[in-house]
A and B are shown apart, each in its own frame.
Chain A
């Protein structure tokens, strides 16, 4: 009689064993970043932020141990795609994340779709990215959000004739287009649209041209890191003295470089979703912890994208009780998350899977001997205009 129970007992024991094995099974997060090349500072900031999040929130979620696998794609899309494929097939990651530039994210989209792995975009900012795969979720921002905010603010502040200067790639073209359209809607004019090559840009001749056009303001978008060069040329050509105001998206006054730009950057107005000087308790804590862990390096909007991306992944893991249901369940748990981020309140739109957050208008001021972007106005809960059309 007792033997009849042996098999069920064995099965039960096996099941318990399996669940405890399951509970100890590692959940791997693949983080693909440009750690070398032109966008290396992006990779550095996001890696630091991801590690900070893990240090603050522990490396076990819903009974599963988290392993972060970081890979360098050098900013080359072929490498990103291959690394993503290897991470999915060989390392069996549960989530892909990172993606420092638009082409890198776009190249990887088919991999996410084919393997049904959620892809969290922490840096790239072109609108169309979330449409490239139903498994893409974004925690960074989109250029149209900032461009539109700026195009609303500028005409109200005496800037009716503006020249745009953008880097010639996806986000730049997005910024140019949405800024121009919104300006026209507000009865203001974009008299000229200039595009600078993405690699090895030389701003001097372009800025000279702007000076000769004598606009009220110059609207600039360049990727994070190139802002200093633009600023320098702007001042050298005496454009501020000629009465041309400098406005742009927050990439121009990137927190990573802002302090080294010198007094010439004072007064520049930008529109962006994050400033290291954002006056919330959570942000103060975040900035302090980040600086402490990274030799005094100030976090920028890339770091926030990485930090929030990790939060989205962790919450999704908790809600799916450790990733049960595979990639599709994780994706469903990522959509619609609402939470407070160091940047302010944000949520992941359930339809578009894109980020909805506040866009702030900020001015560069000096505080405690350092330069910061001080927020003076806000547009709340801005959705990506690139999609609501």
Chain B
């Protein structure tokens, strides 16, 4: 094996602390049974953030409308469970597939143009889907939301309980599986070609990387995973409403990713945890004005420098 291949395969090996951290996460529903619902919610959002990282951190596409796929997955899963089959895993597969299709279709829109164009196109798609969901209220329940979604037991055994235990285990296992998958993807040749495209698309094309094909592929994958997260959300809460498509959701997940750090998979997870905990603490103290503190935090974060948040020892130094 030559040196390049060797160093790449070393980068691919999971570190010991990753195993330890995942083991800890999987035990959380046992350690904090009263917070199982919160754990489940954070896990879903972490999955959503990881999917955004694929296109933002690894491929450099700034998207303000990733919630389009989250919402698509949520409604697909909810509608599937309500009208066709209440099995969660089947519904999840359907949600993922539908969002992947949507992602493939939308990826055609982000190929050309500047950052601003991409921002607008992604935002526009999410807004259109939200309007559609509102108008087709005989299917989606419109502004009142989709009611009456009753999920079957996971794997035929584990019912969704009021405490949220089943939900927590379910979401954690799915997210772990996705994490393992993504880890393989980002250290593969495909993953590295994405980073090359992010850093300089023109140069990447010059050395023979099929830029458009790669972008379409990664966007579809990210959309599929976002849809999976949406499906999980709908299944664990038994409900889907218009704000799954909302700008707030897209903006929040972007923030989480930035807090945790883009370009590495743990960013999404850490960001989701930190964001939600911050939210819970600050909202308990000042429920009406928590967005002020969030805004302040963001401004300071950017002024200090994003990459330095998770490296507190660099805070004192100038950039």
Contact = CB atoms under 8 A, between A and B. Distances in A.
Interface centre among B38, B144, B237, B238 (most CB of A within 10 A): B144
A387 interface: no
Contact of A103 (B41, B131, B143, B162): B143
B43 interface: no
Contacts of A90: 34
Contact of B147 (A71, A132, A197): A132
B238 A72 contact: no
B239 A102 contact: no
Interface in B217-233: 233
Given A77-B239, A107-B239, A170-B143, A82 B37 contact: yes
Interface in A255-296: none
A103 B134 contact: no
Contacts of A89: 34, 37, 162-164
A96 to B, nearest CB: 13
Interface string B282-306: 0100011011000000000000000
Interface centre among A70, A115, A168 (most CB of B within 10 A): A168
Given A35-B288, A76-B243, A77-B239, A85 B144 contact: no
B142 interface: yes
A64 to B, nearest CB: 23
* Range, interface on chain A: 20 to 34
A77 B145 contact: yes
Interface centre among B162, B164, B233 (most CB of A within 10 A): B162
Interface string A75-119: 011100110011011100000000000110011001100110000
A139 to B, nearest CB: 20
A245 B238 CA distance: 44
Contacts of B233: 78
B283 A72 contact: yes
A86 B41 CA distance: 12
Contacts of A35: 287-288
Nearest to B289: A36
Interface centre among B37, B162, B239 (most CB of A within 10 A): B239
A70 B283 CA distance: 11
Contacts of A107: 145, 147, 237, 239, 241
A36 B238 contact: no
Contacts of A72: 283, 287-288
Interface string B115-137: 00000000000000001001001
A332 interface: no
B143 A85 contact: no
Nearest to B244: A78
A290 B147 CA distance: 37
B288 A40 contact: yes
A40 B291 CA distance: 14
B134 A197 contact: yes
Contact of B241 (A71, A78, A115, A197): A78
A8 B310 CA distance: 64
A213 interface: no
A78 B34 contact: no
A114 B283 contact: no
A4 B288 CA distance: 62
A103 B241 contact: yes
A103 B145 contact: yes
Given A35-B287, A168-B142, A78 B164 contact: no
A9 interface: no
A126 interface: yes
A114 B163 CA distance: 11
A314 to B, nearest CB: 25
A203 interface: no
B143 A168 contact: yes
Interface in B249-305: 283, 287-288, 290-291
B132 to A, nearest CB: 12
Contacts of B38: 82, 86
A115 B237 CA distance: 15
A50 B136 CA distance: 37
Interface in A113-157: 114-115, 126, 132
A114 B143 CA distance: 24
Contacts of B288: 35-36, 40, 72
Contacts of A88: 162
Given A36-B287, A72-B288, A168-B137, 20 more contacts: A71-B287, A76-B241, A78-B237, A78-B241, A78-B243, A81-B239, A82-B38, A85-B37, A85-B162, A88-B162, A89-B37, A89-B162, A89-B163, A103-B144, A107-B145, A107-B239, A115-B162, A168-B142, A169-B143, A170-B144
20 contacts: A35-B287, A70-B287, A72-B288, A76-B241, A76-B243, A77-B145, A78-B237, A78-B243, A82-B37, A82-B38, A82-B237, A85-B37, A86-B38, A89-B34, A102-B144, A106-B144, A107-B239, A126-B144, A132-B147, A168-B137
Interface of B: 34, 37-38, 41, 131, 134, 137, 142-145, 147, 162-164, 233, 237-239, 241, 243, 283, 287-288, 290-291
